[in-house]
Structure 1
Amino acid sequence: MLAVDSTVATPLLTKPLNLGADIVMHSATKYLNGHSDVISGVLAAREDNAFWQRLVAVRAQSGAVPGQDAAQLLRGMRTLFLRVRESCQSALYIAEQLEQHPQVIEVLYPGLKSFAGHDVAKKQMKSGFGGMLSIRLAGGEKAAIAVAAKTQLWCRATSLGGVESLIEHRASIEGPDTPVPLDLLRLSVGIENADDLLTDLKQAIDSAHV
């Protein structure tokens, strides 16, 4: 049984069931909703088998049925294609530009040829590489935390997939046992103007390294 979390890729970019997955999970709170005001989740199965029927039965018995969130989720999905397309384009642009910044030692984004999984991403993802990327900074943990604090357009928050662009120092969120590098910032690119987002990041990076 192969289960895949495809929240970040969204159904628009990757179709795991066609690639051999048995069950696909989406945190509908993220891209499917897109407005950061829903708590919901989605499971989809390739086959209506006995295991899937057990999951359906557990859901029915526990009363895990969405209420008002369903209406808000439907609202968000009406603009899913537009939002994801904009986020993908902006994320790729920002990733390519930040690769050239002297204080950025690494950009982690599947759309970049320098990314270790780029070839796999090209085969599995269509119409874009997602709106999520990470950057690692030459100044280490201190610089990363400072950059997150100095952005003005990027919101310092832990989430992803909304219309607003978010930045976070992930290691601080996860605590001392985190495997995340201390110099890493995670970025969720929203639908704001890409040049404005890039300019804001650059000023924050430059300010943190003065």
Structure 2
Amino acid sequence: MKTTLPLILGSSSVFRQAQLQRLGLPFQTASPDYDETPQPDETAEQTALRLAVGKARSLASKFPQALIIGADQVAWCNGRQLGKPMNVAKAQQMLAELSGQQIEFYSAVCLLNTVSDGLHTHVDKTVVTMRRLMPEQIRQYLAREPDAVYCAGAAKSEGLGAALLERIDSSDPNALIGLPIFRLVDFLMLEGVAVL
């Protein structure tokens, strides 16, 4: 069965939009309205999944006949969640704390069929080992990669951020950028989208 339902990416992330564009499928984007505050006693994996599903469901009334992709990513290190620093000073502090550490990135993706209320979900775990970084290296990186302040853990791996990293362990290299494409393709095919 092939679907005629429109595909909606429930994200304002330019990184996720670029990832989805690579599949060559027509889609439109919509910014979800969902509170992203982590809940007490919630694991990073649970936060990422709750936010991905919440973002998709927040758009359901606006797109009652569609396939909505929800996504979110949470970074975890030293027993706490790492958000997006959103400014250079916080990014410098975050990267200094992460120097030489292992970080777990939980990248959640869901596909919501708003006609059937069918929901497919997946959380991909990527473990990143950071290099030991000197303060000057952190300053140089943030000066040359200003978008990094909008990335979890301030590490934009697809750009110059690769120089911050020593190792990545992942089952889907797309997940670290923000969208686990391998599982998303599975979900799309289950919903009748001809990816290939």
Which TM-score applies when normalising by structure 2? Answer: 0.26
- Greater share of residues in helix: 1
The structure with the larger Rg is 1
Which TM-score applies when normalising by structure 1? Answer: 0.25
- Greater share of residues in strand: 2
